[in-house]
Structure formats: structure tokens, C-alpha cells
Amino acid sequence: MGCKVVYYSVALLLYLMICEHVRAQCTQPSFKSRNVILSESFITTQSFPSRSTVTFECEVGHVRDPVNPRASKSVTCEGNQWTSLELNCIKKSCGSPPDFLHGKYEITGISFGDKITAVCDPGYILAGQMKDRWCREQGWDGRDPVCEAVKCEAPPVIENGQLVDQPLDTYDYAQVVSYRCNKGFSLIGSSDLHCSEDGTFKPDPPKCSKGCTKPEIPHAIRIGGRLPPYELGSYLDYKCEEGYKMDGESHILCTAEGWKPEPPKCNVVKCEAPPTIENGQLRDPLDSYSYSQVVSYKCNSGFRLTGVSELRCSEDGTFKPDPPKCLAPLTTTATTTTPTKVTSKTLPKDALLTTTTTATKVTSKIDPKDGNTNSSRTSKIVGSTVGVAVLCLAAVIVLVIYKKRSKHEKVATGNEVDKEL
């Protein structure tokens, strides 16, 4: 029995030691955010037992951070975790690149991996093809650039024309040469060329033609003159398409210097903002209007619109027809007479009194079907006047009857008194 206890105890102890050995180890450490790598002697090892210590070094192109120059570069495996690394590395600086004659560097940065580009001053050109330099571990790579003065070779020769001055073997930067055509030919293009930055003459050389080339005028219509070819003395007349407005002369003549005056241009018609109106406004106003575009007006509440509500952007750049007007509402007066039966001792039996009521009606509409609005209005006024006259006459008649009745009653009353006496 005792032997079995000892046996199991030893087995358990060995098992625990094996488990502890398996558990207490670390995998290969990594601290990429600190721009470091494991020292060469530890790179091939994938796992480390507890209490192991490893060291790190700065990556290529990096140096210790000067903020903490004494930072430890080692870490220790404790159980299955590594201690914190103090070492931190930053990109190495190559410093400002050296200056060079007749040029400068375009700099995006001066740290490891950054690029600078050599650019020559106007009138100078870079000798060789290497214009970029990179910041490497040992500093700026390549050689200092050299900028040489720009030289142009002889300008191109043209048919039926020649240089005004005697040609040279080479020309300096920005130097100008001029061309002329032989007699009977007209020059097409620019007569002056200059030696440009890339060592060539610009723009393209002119051409000498016995006549003029066909003008290219977008949105223009030829209304006079002949078809090409155009000899000296030929003419052309143009007009612009609908919706376009001419800028320049419509009549041009082919001369030894080309078309005179210069061919016109046809620009799209644009209208400025349409006119504003009192007591009214535009519907959906815009910043600018093109040819044939329509705008619409409306009056404020309580006002009536007279005229055309829609205007159109016309060929001359104005809106037509004239804008409408917003007028105040019209007022009309209507008179009504209501007969009232009144019973009184002082009035004749069943006498009628008339009550006159005057009403004012505000109207803001005009019947477009009524072709004679003024005649209708005049008829209404005449009718109202006649009505008032009739009412006045009836009132006079009632008053006369009333007075006669009153006089009759007084006489009757007097006679009754005499009889009593």
C-alpha cells in the first residue's frame, strides 16, 4: 500500500513539472509600432522559455528616439508574456539637400524614404535624366543636378516663305524668330516663334498659302461669297444661326495677310434678368436665361394682371413683349330699392315708403369674353342714374299727397268744432 502512494505521488509531481514547463514559455516577440526588429541571434527562434531575455535593434533607416536615448532594448519572458519594451526608433533624417546653380529642389520631406525633385530655373534645362533623389540609410542618393542654359537649334523651314532675319546656328532661351511669305502668298498662323524651355521653337510654324483657308465658325451660316478655294480678293458674308449672336464683322475679305477683318464668332444669346413689376413677381426666377426661354409673371394677392403674363428671351438679348402690369381692383356701386308698406294716420291709406340701400362691390376680374367693357360699364351707370331719379319722383308724389291729406283733416276738424259751438 505504501509503495503505491509513493508511486502516484512521484507521477503527479512529474506531471505538474511537465505542465509547468509547457505553460511557462513565450512566443517570438514583436513591437512593430516602435520601428524595431529582433537582434540577429534571436530571429530564427520561435518560442522562448520563461525568464528568457531578448534584445531589439532599430529597423533599417531608423535611429533611437532622442527623447529617451538610454531606453532599454531588451525584454524578458515572464510566464507566457514579455515585459514592455522601452526602446523606440524614429526615421533617420537626411538633412536639407545642398543648393545647386540655376535651380532648386521640390521637397516633400527629408526623412528616410522621402523624395526630392530637381527643377531648373526658366531658361535652363536639366543635364541628364535623373531628376529625383531619395533619402537612404547613408543619406541622399545620386549626384547633385546640373542645369544648363537652354539652346534651340535652327527653326523649321516653311514652303513659299522664309525667315525675316538671317538664320543662326543656335538660339538662346526666349529668343524670337519671324517668318514672311513670298509674294502672292498669304501667311496663315503666327508669324513669330520663340525658343521655349524644352529647347524647341513654339508655337507651330506658319503656312504660306496662295489664298486663304476656309474659316471655321461654329453656328455660322454663309450667306454670300463663293466656295473654297479662296484666292486673294475673295469675300464671304455670314449670319449666325437662330439663338446665336454675332461678335465681329459679317463681311470678311481674303488678303495677303489672311482674312480681314478676322472671321466673326457666333455666341449663344443670353438674356439678363427680366424686368420687375410693381405689385407682382416672377414665377421661379433664375440667374440667367438662354434664347427662347420663357418667364411667367403673377400679381400679388388683391391685384389684377393686365397684359401678357409670359415673356420670351429674344434674339437681341431682351425679353419680349413688354411686361404686364398689376393694377388695383375696380369698385362698382349698386343701388337697390325696397318698398315698405306703412300704415299711419297722417299718411294716405296703404301708402308705400321706399327704402334705398346702396352697396359697394369690389371686383378684380375682367370678363375676357366681354368685348365692349366700357359700353357695359356706361349702361350700368345710366341705369343707376335713372333708378335714382324715379325714386326721387316717387318721394315727391308721396310728400304732396301727405300734405293735401293733412290739410283736408285740419279743415274737417274745424268744421266739427263749429258744429259743437
Query: For residue 241, what is the domain's CATH number?
Result: 2.10.70.10
- 158 inside domain: yes
Give me the count of residues in the chain. 421
- 98 inside domain: no
Same domain, 299 and 341: no
State phi, psi for 388 to the nearest 5 degrees: -65, -40
CA distances from 159 to 177, 194, 207, 342 (A): 16, 19, 7, 120
Same domain, 346 and 278: no
Rg (CA), the chain: 55
Same domain, 343 and 403: yes
Same domain, 278 and 262: no
Same domain, 183 and 263: no
Same domain, 145 and 161: no
- 185 inside domain: yes
Q: Where is 330: in which H helix or E strand?
A: strand 330-341
Q: Which of 211-215, 265-269, 361-365 is the least confident region?
A: 361-365
- 194 inside domain: yes
Last residue of a domain, one of 164, 185, 209: 209
- 383 inside domain: yes
Same domain, 285 and 356: no
Same domain, 73 and 116: no
For residue 258, pLDDT beyond 90: no
Task: Give the whole-angstrom CA distance, residue 315 versus residue 242.
Answer: 7
Task: Give the whole-angstrom CA distance, residue 90 versus residue 35.
Answer: 7
- 162 inside domain: yes
pLDDT band at 184 (very low <50, low <70, confident <90, very high): confident
Record the pTM: 0.43
Q: What is the pLDDT of residue 365?
A: 42
Same domain, 44 and 68: yes
Number of domains composing the chain:
6
Domain that holds residue 127: 103-149
Tell me how far apart the terminal alpha carbons of the chain are, to the nearest angstrom: 177
Phi-psi region of 392 (alpha: psi -120 to 50; beta: other; left: phi over 0): alpha
Query: How confident is the model over 45-91, as pLDDT tens digits?
Result: 999 999 999 999 999 999 999 999 899 999 999 988 999 999 999 99
Same domain, 375 and 300: no
Q: What is the mean pLDDT of the chain?
A: 80
Q: What is the pLDDT of residue 376?
A: 43
- 215 inside domain: no
Are 341 and 348 in contact by the 8 Å Cβ rule? The answer is: no
- Please tell me whether the peptide bond between 329 and the residue prior to it is cis, using omega within 30 degrees of 0: no
Same domain, 169 and 195: yes
Same domain, 33 and 20: yes
Last residue of a domain, one of 116, 132, 149: 149
- 214 inside domain: no
Query: How confident is the model over 326-366, as pLDDT tens digits?
Result: 998 776 555 555 554 444 444 444 444 444 444 444 444 44
pLDDT band at 286 (very low <50, low <70, confident <90, very high): confident
